[in-house]
Amino acid sequence: MTAAAMKIDKIRLGTGVMIPTNRLSPVAASALASLNALAPGRIDMGVGTGFTGRRTMGLGPIKLADMFDYIDVIEKLLAGEMVEAEIEGALHPIRFMNPELELINIRTRCRYVSALGPRGRNMVAQRGYGWINTVGRLDRAQAAIDDMKKSWTDAGRDVNDLEASATSGGAILKIRTTGMNRMCRRRLARRPPSSSQHGRGSRIRLDRPDAAAGARRAGRRI
C-alpha cells in the first residue's frame, strides 16, 4: 500500500480485511495514519473477525464485540484521543505522540467491516460503517446485499448512504503480453515441478508443446 500511495494520486486504497488479533490496534492506527500522510483522505480500513485467516492457524474467528471494540480504539486514536488499549491482558493508556509534526495524518475516518452473517450486518448498520462482502456466486451476492440493505433500513438509515465493497478471488489463466509470456516460460523451464503441481486434480495451462509433454510425463492433467 505504501508503494501504491507514493505512485497513485487518485484511486482509494484499502487494507482489505485486517484481523484484530494479528495486528495490535495502536500498530494498525499508526500504519493507517502513515499511509494517510502519503495519500490524504484516500485510505480505507477494512476489518474482519478472521474467519479464514485465523482458521489457517487452527483458531476460530474472534467475537464480533471484540472486533468492534478494536475498531473503536483505532478510531479514537485517529481522532487524537487518549485511549486504553488492552495489550497482553492489561489496559495501557496510548495516544499518538507529536501529531503536530505532521509525520502522520490522523484525519481519516473511513472504515469497512466484513460481515457475512445477519448479526454482523445488523451491527454494521447500527454503527453506520461501510460493508465488505465476499462475492462468489451472483445469486448469493444479490441475496447478501438485499439482506444488508434491510439491516441498514431497519436501523433507520437511508439506503443511499450505504457504502458496500465486494471482494472476489481470481486466477490468471493466460498471460497475453508477449514479453511477459516469454519470461514466464523461461522461469518454468528452469524451475522443477512443485509438489502442488503434482497434486491430484491440478490443472496447468501451458503453450509450449515440449512443456505440455513434460507435464504429461510428470502425471499432470492439461
Q: Is the pLDDT of residue 146 over 90?
A: yes
What confidence tens digit (pLDDT) does each residue in 77-104 have? Answer: 988 899 988 888 888 899 988 877 777 8
Long-range contacts for 85-90 (Cβ within 8 Å, ≥24 apart)? Answer: 85/24, 85/25, 85/26, 87/24
What confidence tens digit (pLDDT) does each residue in 163-176 have? Answer: 888 887 777 777 66
pTM: 0.69
Residue-level pLDDT at 195:
42
Phi, psi angle pair for 221, to nearest 5°: -90, 135
Q: How confident is the model at residue 217 (pLDDT cuts 50, 70, 90)?
A: very low
Q: How confident is the model at residue 138 (pLDDT cuts 50, 70, 90)?
A: confident
Residue-level pLDDT at 216:
44
Residue-level pLDDT at 191:
59
